[in-house]
Amino acid sequence: AQTVTQSQPEMSVQEAETVTLSCTYDTSESDYYLFWYKQPPSRQMILVIRQEAYKQQNATENRFSVNFQKAAKSFSLKISDSQLGDAAMYFCAYSDMKTSYDKVIFGPGTSLSVIP
């Protein structure tokens, strides 16, 4: 069974600095998707970035970028120029391409604090 692990329950970063959140996953599939979701205090789940496993190029979305290491099954999220609004829970998630529905498996989350 696929699993997603986030080994950092909590992290903090100074405003304007860069922070990297770690995620590892376990799967025997070769084709799959990986995601980072952000959950601010409002509780809304917001899709931050998505990576297709067959694409070698790392996904980027403004200040958010990923480091996707397929062989190592690692999928870290880098937030550059951190802002106070980045404070949130961040969930790493996995979905393979074989299921007929969005079977998304979530990690336990990392709580990110941004220090002014």
Partner 1 sequence: DAGITQSPRHKVTETGTPVTLRCHQTENHRYMYWYRQDPGHGLRLIHYSYGVKDTDKGEVSDGYSVSRSKTEDFLLTLESATSSQTSVYFCAISELVKGPSAFFGQGTRLTVV
Q: Of 80, 86, 84, which is closest to residue 18 (Cα–Cα)?
A: 80
105 close to 95: Cβ distance less than 8 angstroms = yes
Q: Which of 42, 57, 72, 98 binds partner 1 (CB under 8 A)?
A: 42
Under rule CB under 8 A, residue 64 binds partner 1 = no
Q: Which of 2, 50, 70, 80 binds partner 1 (CB under 8 A)?
A: 50
Q: Which residues contact 57 (CB under 8 A, 6 or more apart)?
A: none
76: left (phi over 0), alpha (psi -120 to 50) or beta: beta
Which of the stretches 12-20, 21-29, 55-63, 90-98 binds partner 1 when contact is defined by CB under 8 A? 90-98
Q: How many other CB atoms sit within 10 Å of the CB of residue 87?
A: 18
Q: Which of 45, 61, 69, 83 binds partner 1 (CB under 8 A)?
A: 45
Applying CB under 8 A, which residues contact partner 1?
A: 4, 33, 35, 42-45, 47, 50, 52, 91, 93, 95, 97, 100-104, 106-109
